Amino acid sequence: MKLSKTLLFTLLVYVNISPGLLLTINRSQNLDTDYQVSWSVDLTSEIINFVVTAQTTGYVGFGLSRAGGMKNADIVIGGVQDGLPYFADYHAVRNGMPDIDSSQDWTLISASENSTHTMLSFTRALNTCDKEDVSIN
């Protein structure tokens, strides 16, 4: 996989959800003019769904972090190359290139790219019980 663009890395700060209040929670946030993230949480199935749209071609990175930085973040990197999607689960033990997770706990739903934007749709359990992942509770 050739990583030819600057990594667009986003941190979704610790999400605290109170069970029993709502069955589904939907949110969307423009993190800057070139990067939007939307997510929905299904409290019944304990699954979180993300859609990330970035003004870039190549690859997109997205991460969850309790501390608000790259160190100890749970990261996905994906995109479209030669018309085919790619996607993988990573974790960062330091600031820099993340390491691939031994357990791939994120699931790619779809990946698309046009001349200006890349869009990824993916899902994950709120708690994967994987020490390399950030639990969302």
Q: What is the pTM of this model?
A: 0.78
Strand positions, DSSP E, 19-98: 24-32, 35-42, 47-54, 59-65, 74-81, 84-91
Percentage, residues of the chain above pLDDT 70:
82
Q: Structural domains in the chain?
A: 11-125 (2.60.40.1210)
Q: What is the pLDDT of residue 9?
A: 33
Confidence of residue 23 (pLDDT cuts 50, 70, 90): low
User: Given the structure tokens 């993230």, which residue do they identify?
Assistant: 37
- Average pLDDT (109-135) is 93
Q: What is the pLDDT of residue 16?
A: 40
Phi-psi map region of 96: left, alpha, beta (phi>0 left; psi -120 to 50 alpha): left
